[in-house]
Each structure stands twice: as C-alpha cells, then as structure tokens.
C-alpha cells in the first residue's frame, strides 16, 4: 500500500496549479478593464481654436483623449492620449513629453514615441487639419457617410 500517497500528492499539486492559473486569468481581466482597447472616436472631433496649441509645444485634450502638438507655425500633429501600456489617459505635458499618471510612461509629443516605459508602443497618430481656424481630428471623409451629404 505504498502507492497511494503519490497519487494524492499529484492531485494536490494539480489543485495548486489550477489555483495559480485562476489568478493569472483574473490579472489579465483586470488589465483589460483599464481601457486597453478603448477605440478613439471614428467621426471628426472639433477641438476648438488651433492657436490654443502653442507653437513648439502641445496641448492635451483629456476629455477627447487626444494630444495635439505644433512643431512649427501652422503644422499640427495629433495622437491618441491614451497610454499604450494599460490605457490610462495622459495627465500632463512636461518638457515636450506626455506623462502617464498610472505607471510613469512618457511619450514624445511630436512623434508619439514611447520614451520611458513600461509602455513600449508609440501613441497612435490621428489625422488632424485646420478648418476655419479650428482643429479637427479624425478622418477627413468620415462625415460623408451621411446619404444627404
Ligand atoms: S497605463 Fe500608462 S504607464 Fe501604465
């Protein structure tokens, strides 16, 4: 009867491993709830006066989750302001870098490049244009899906 304890140990090991696997699943679920894959608006967004973005600087539109920089007079670049690590919205711009308040990632406001981790993926670029002095982000043809247009 010396063979019985071994299967019992095997069963216990299996239970421990199953518990650990369950924790792993819970951690992944928590991460996805942080907004990792929250899509940007697909329709054009009016951000207001273009001259609110300083030349050589950038402005954060937290409510719209958009970052706009102006590397030179009349030239604008827009990016998602949602961190590519786990989805937090950037909270401020310092020295040409967008800061994520959650885990400290930093992004170049003129290229979207991740300068400091844990994020490694750049901020996605968004089309931006100026119409009547206002900044409009989003696809230029997005509003033409209206049959009356
Ligand atoms: S969500 Fe931005 S650094 Fe983690």
The phi and psi torsions of 11 (rounded to 5 degrees) equal -65, -45
The protein residue with its alpha carbon nearest to ligand 1, atom 1, reads 86
24 lies in the same domain as 75: no
Does residue 40 lie within any of the structural domains? no
Model's pTM, two decimal places?
0.68
Do residues 78 and 116 share a domain? yes
Q: In this predicted model, what pLDDT tens digit does every residue of 60-112 receive, in sequence order? A: 999 999 999 999 999 999 999 999 999 999 999 999 999 999 999 999 999 99
If asked whether residues 136 and 106 sit together in one domain, one would say: yes
Same-domain check for residues 103 and 72 = yes
Asked if 26 and 78 sit in the same domain, the reply is: no
Claim to verify: residue 7 and residue 80 sit in the same structural domain: no
Pocket lining: 105 vs ligand 1, CB cutoff 6 Å: yes
Q: Whose CA is nearest to atom 3 of ligand 1?
A: 103
CB 90 within 8 A of CB 136: no
| 147 inside domain | no
Per the structure, the count of domains in the chain is 2
Q: State how far Cα 78 lies from the chain centre.
A: 13
* CA–CA distance, 145 with 38 (Å, rounded to integer): 23
Query: Could you tell me if residue 91 is inside a domain?
Result: yes
Ligand 1 atom closest to the CA of 90, numbered from 1: 2
pLDDT in tens, 122-149: 999 999 999 999 999 986 544 333 333 3
Ligand 1: atom nearest CA of 88 is: 1
Domain that holds residue 29: 1-33
**pLDDT tens-digit map of 1-56:** 444 444 544 444 444 434 444 333 333 333 433 444 455 666 888 999 999 999 99
């Amino acid at each position: 009867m010396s063979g019985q304890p071994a299967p019992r140990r095997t069963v216990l090991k299996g239970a421990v491993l199953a518990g650990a696997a369950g924790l792993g699943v819970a951690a992944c679920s928590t991460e996805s709830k942080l907004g990792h894959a929250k899509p940007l608006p697909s329709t054009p967004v009016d951000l207001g006066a273009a001259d609110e973005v300083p030349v050589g600087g950038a402005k954060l539109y937290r409510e719209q989750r958009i970052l706009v920089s102006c590397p030179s007079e009349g030239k604008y670049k827009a990016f998602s302001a949602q961190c590519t690590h786990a989805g937090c919205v950037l909270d401020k711009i310092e020295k040409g870098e967008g800061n994520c308040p959650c885990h400290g990632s930093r992004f170049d406001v003129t290229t979207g490049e991740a300068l400091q981790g844990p994020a490694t993926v750049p901020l996605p670029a968004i089309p931006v244009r100026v119409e009547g002095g206002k900044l409009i982000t989003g696809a230029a043809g997005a509003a033409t899906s209206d049959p009356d247009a």
